Amino acid sequence: MQIAITEENRDGFSKTLKLVSLDKKTIKAARANFGRFRINGVIRGGIYDSDVWTLSDDLHVSELAFSMDEDVYDRHAGAWLGCSFEVYRESVKAYIALNLGVLARSTLLTMTTLYRRLTEMDYGDVLELPAEDIPYVLELIKMMPGGSPLRDEVIESLERERLRIASTERRTLAEFKYYLRFDRELGKYWRGCPEERKIYFFPMYLWWEVTAILPLRVTEFLLTPYDCIEEKNGRFYLTIRRTKMKKGRHRVSYKVPSDYEKMQYEIPERIYNDIRWYQGIHDDAEAHGYRRPELDTLFLTSANPLSGYFCYGMARLRLRSLCAEVMNDEDYPIHLGDTRHLAMINLILSGGSPVICKELAGHESIDMSSHYYGNLSGIVESIIYEKYNGWGDDTEFSGSEKYYATLPDKTIPVEGGWCDSESMISGSVRDCFKDFDGEDVIGSCMGCRHFYPEKQGIKLRIINERKKAVDADCEYLMQMIELVRKGQGYQEDIASAMLKLHADAELYGDLLKRKYKGGYR
């Protein structure tokens, strides 16, 4: 649920500015919005700083109460939210005020009541929120100042629960296309980026490079320790903190050393050198306008952070800035949790077994990992499309699709269609050798630029059949995983299903290569 804090009008065009953080600017906007509704009589009497706002919609009158017990807050919600009681209370009032005119009176009443109850909730309590309350809590705490590892864990857990509830909603094909383009543009940007911008964006650059391969939770990545790299026998390793906070299996201590364990993963030398460079910036952080985090973490924070480390909220805003600078669009459809999904898909397409996926992702069971198996055919198509249409100078093939209403004047009939090659018409197969790409047999017309198929839609029909085969393989694989999990199947069935999936994905990819490189006319 994103709301607007203001609207800019310039030269006859308007731009809506969305609320992304409850900072001084937005709190000022909240007070102004409250004033507007007080003037027009929606807010009846009272001032912004009152403990109770009386709200009327002409049919009903409600009291939005902001009275909260500070001692209760400090003992419960304050332990995981990572901000003072006053910051929390001010954030609640600002968020409610900014939603005046956006949400119904009854909804605002529900939210205010929920936020008062939230002060009494411990870390475990908030993870048990009913589905209807999750969006209201999630959007508030994502925007609040400050932060803590526990708050980030709550944010991620509630995001996962919201995704589970809406499990039918899967990422669309277009999103994978956006990821591929972002990767290409980020690489170009980074190679020519000035040092100060590299320092500023390094946390998000490393997030993309590491978490798109290793399926980390966002909080685990943000808690990367400062002393995180090591070289052993010419190989390079990265140390990451992985959470031990499993619901019902681990008591929360509210201390990073005991709630997380350090694990090592091998990384390329390039990433190792990037991190070494960034570690060197720590020695002169203040000269660059940053400070070393209070926690033993890698990423530098702003001069006066409310949290002790580079937290989820900071990363979220920094990613928006990176998208604005690299893609010229701060609303570019990439989010912090996406790379974990991409890393799981990459493992599956690369031949990783469900057990390996489970271990690397930190899941408690194999069936949790199987959530990521959906829509693999969409990823295959995105990768092939980008290779042949979006990668510029390193494109291996070139050409464009050709559709025709009438045939050229000079053609001869061939199997499945017609050929307009002058050499073929005169009896020579010279053009057949020219168009041979090393994949099909010589003389095959399917990929030839001189070939006009009798049935122009036949190749697309074949592609759709292959696409359905890939998706069917994914469904079958998930069924085999579920049977093994319940003790009713065999690991060999999973291996067989994986092989079938890879084979069909390869066939589907080959068809798409021919389509996008220009073989389909």
pLDDT of residue 300 exceeding 50: yes
- Rounded mean pLDDT, 8-23: 50
Q: Is 388 helix (H, G, I), strand (E, B) or coil?
A: helix
For the full predicted model, state whether its pTM sits above 0.95. no
Residue 366's pLDDT is: 42
* Band of pLDDT at residue 61, cut at 50, 70 and 90: confident
Q: What CATH number is given for 173-336 in this structure?
A: 1.10.443
Most confidently modeled of 134-148, 191-205, 394-408, 444-458? Answer: 191-205
pLDDT digits (tens, 9 = 90+) for 260-286: 889 898 888 999 999 999 999 998 888
pLDDT digits (tens, 9 = 90+) for 443-465: 667 667 788 776 654 444 445 66
pLDDT of residue 466 exceeding 80: no
**Residue, of 359 and 309, whose pLDDT is higher:** 309
Q: What percent of the chain has pLDDT over 70?
A: 64
pLDDT of residue 13 exceeding 60: no
Q: How far apart are CA 300 and CA 512, in angstroms?
A: 44
Q: What percent of the chain has pLDDT over 90?
A: 31
Residue 387's pLDDT is: 53
* DSSP result, 67-104: ---HHHHHHTHHHHH-S-HHHHHHHHHHHHHHTBTTB-
- Rounded mean pLDDT, 253-259: 72
Residue 499 has, within 13 A of its CA and on its CB side, a CA count of 6
Phi, psi (degrees; rounded to nearest 5) at 221: -65, -45
* DSSP result, 291-355: B--SSS-SS-B-SS-SSSS--HHHHHHHHHHHHHHHHS-TT-S--TTHHHHHHHHHHHHTT--HH
Residue 196's pLDDT is: 94
pLDDT of residue 392 exceeding 90: no
pLDDT digits (tens, 9 = 90+) for 66-79: 999 999 999 999 99
Q: Return the closest-CA partner of residue 109 out of 56, 63, 60.
A: 63
146: left (phi over 0), alpha (psi -120 to 50) or beta: left
Domains in the chain: boundaries: 4-145, 173-336, 396-516
| Token representation of residue 512 | 């798409």
pLDDT of residue 390 exceeding 90: no
Q: Is 450 helix (H, G, I), strand (E, B) or coil?
A: coil
In whole numbers, what is the pLDDT of the chain averaged over residues?
76
Q: Return the closest-CA partner of residue 300 out of 315, 282, 317.
A: 282
Residue 56's pLDDT is: 81
pLDDT of residue 248 exceeding 60: no
Identify the burial level of 319 via C-beta atoms within 10 angstroms of its C-beta, where 0-12 means exposed, 13-18 middle and 19 or more buried.
buried
Q: How far apart are CA 295 and CA 226, in angstroms?
A: 9
